[in-house]
Amino acid sequence: MRQAARILSVETPGPGLHEITRDVARWAHGQGVTTGLLTLFCRHTSASLLIQENADPDVARDLEDWVAKVAPESPAYRHQDEGPDDMPAHLRTALTGVQLSIPLIDGRLALGTWQGVYLFEHRARPHRREVALHLSGD
């Protein structure tokens, strides 16, 4: 069994879904593993990871609108150390998660036809995010 790991740096221009499928797939393919499991871990508490449809951009917009309604900015939150988007960002991360596992089959990510891997930025301003990638397999 072989293992490989890397930290993927992602610059986000602001809130929303930012597709990282190509960067993740390119790195995984370059490891020479045919069959295995790729784990992705977002190293932040105000950004998250999702596998979601990547064909229709309305899906991303609807998802962004939905999380904004479920966890809106509000002066009612106690935690506002970094501004009004601070606590809603943590809530949105709690809803969507920070870890993904994707099988590798025949050297390729086993994503469905319309699936993409996204970093979901929940803060209002641009950030540099880190996603840890870990691949194990043969």
Mean pLDDT by 10 residues, the chain (138 residues): 98 98 98 98 98 97 97 95 96 98 98 98 98 98
The CATH number of the domain where 47 resides is what? 2.60.120.460
Distance CA 45, CA 64 (A): 17
Query: SS3 for 54-81, per residue?
Result: CCCHHHHHHHHHHHHHHCCCCCCCCCCC
Q: What is the extent of the structural domain holding 16? A: 2-137
pLDDT tens-digit map of 78-103? 999 999 999 999 999 999 999 999 99
Packing angle, helices 86-96 and 57-70, rounded to 10: 120
Residue corresponding to tokens 């986000």: 12
Which strand ranges, in their side-by-side order, compose the sheet holding 99-105? 2-12, 127-137, 36-42, 99-105, 108-109
Provide the domain count of the chain: 1
Tokens representing 137 are 């397999």
Residue 85 · residue 74 · CB < 8 Å:
no
CB neighbourhood size of 89 (10 A): 25
pLDDT at 6: 98
